[in-house]
A = this chain, B = another copy of it.
Amino acid sequence: MPEGSRGFVRDLRLRWACEEAGLSYAVATVPVDDRAINHLDRQPFGQIPCLNDGELEIFESGACLLHLARKSEKLMPRDPVGEADTLQWTIAALNSMAMVTVPWWFLKICGDDDNQLTGWLRQRLDHLEKVLSEREWLAAGRFTVAGQLMADALRISEVRAFSDRPATEAYVVRATERPAFKKARAGQMALFEAGDETGVPPGRPG
């Protein structure tokens, strides 16, 4: 996993949710280079993470988070209004926001600094800045998987550096200062530092 991706690989989302909810978990790794052989039967796009929970196997980090949210009220309220609010902001993070931030970031690291997605990114971030200037968390008046996912979409360094949006920046800081995030991130980074502790050659974990 390239240096810049460490601390951002999406198993962190599941670790973070489990830490928030107090759900115990174990992490297994898959070598990047052999994905096509040993991983596509579990994840059709060759991505990570996948979640094993009893008889269930689930891919897509967003789907895994919604599954975990149904196991713990700490991640999503149980009343219909709070649950619907969490659901809509979860999908907003995965679709309306990530659909712009991720390709914009990709074009930028390809060297296309002022790319054609920049206006779209600015518009989405402007809308969100307005929302975040009026509330602490996005959904249900408290931390949820929706707030977690949006923070994860916004904490990409290039997105944070894109412009001066104080409410959004305060939100990212608020989310990433949570002990559960710090523990999840430390857990992922420790795996990269350990290298071969799970039988994966150094430099090829995750």
Contact = CB atoms under 8 A, between A and B. Distances in A.
B106 A120 contact: yes
B45 A92 contact: yes
Q: Is the interface of A mostly helix, strand, loop or mixed?
A: helix
Contacts of A110: 116
Interface string A94-128: 11101110111011001010001100100010011
Interface residues of A, number: 44
A63 to B, nearest CB: 4
A72 interface: no
A168 interface: no
Interface string A123-146: 010011011000000000000000
Contact of A44 (B47, B57, B92): B92
21 contacts: A40-B127, A44-B127, A44-B128, A45-B96, A47-B96, A55-B80, A56-B81, A56-B84, A58-B87, A58-B88, A60-B88, A60-B91, A60-B96, A62-B95, A66-B91, A91-B94, A94-B95, A95-B99, A99-B102, A103-B103, A107-B116
A59 B99 contact: no
Given A59-B92, A67-B87, A103-B103, 14 more contacts: A40-B127, A40-B130, A44-B128, A45-B128, A47-B96, A58-B87, A60-B88, A60-B96, A62-B94, A62-B95, A63-B84, A66-B87, A98-B99, A106-B116
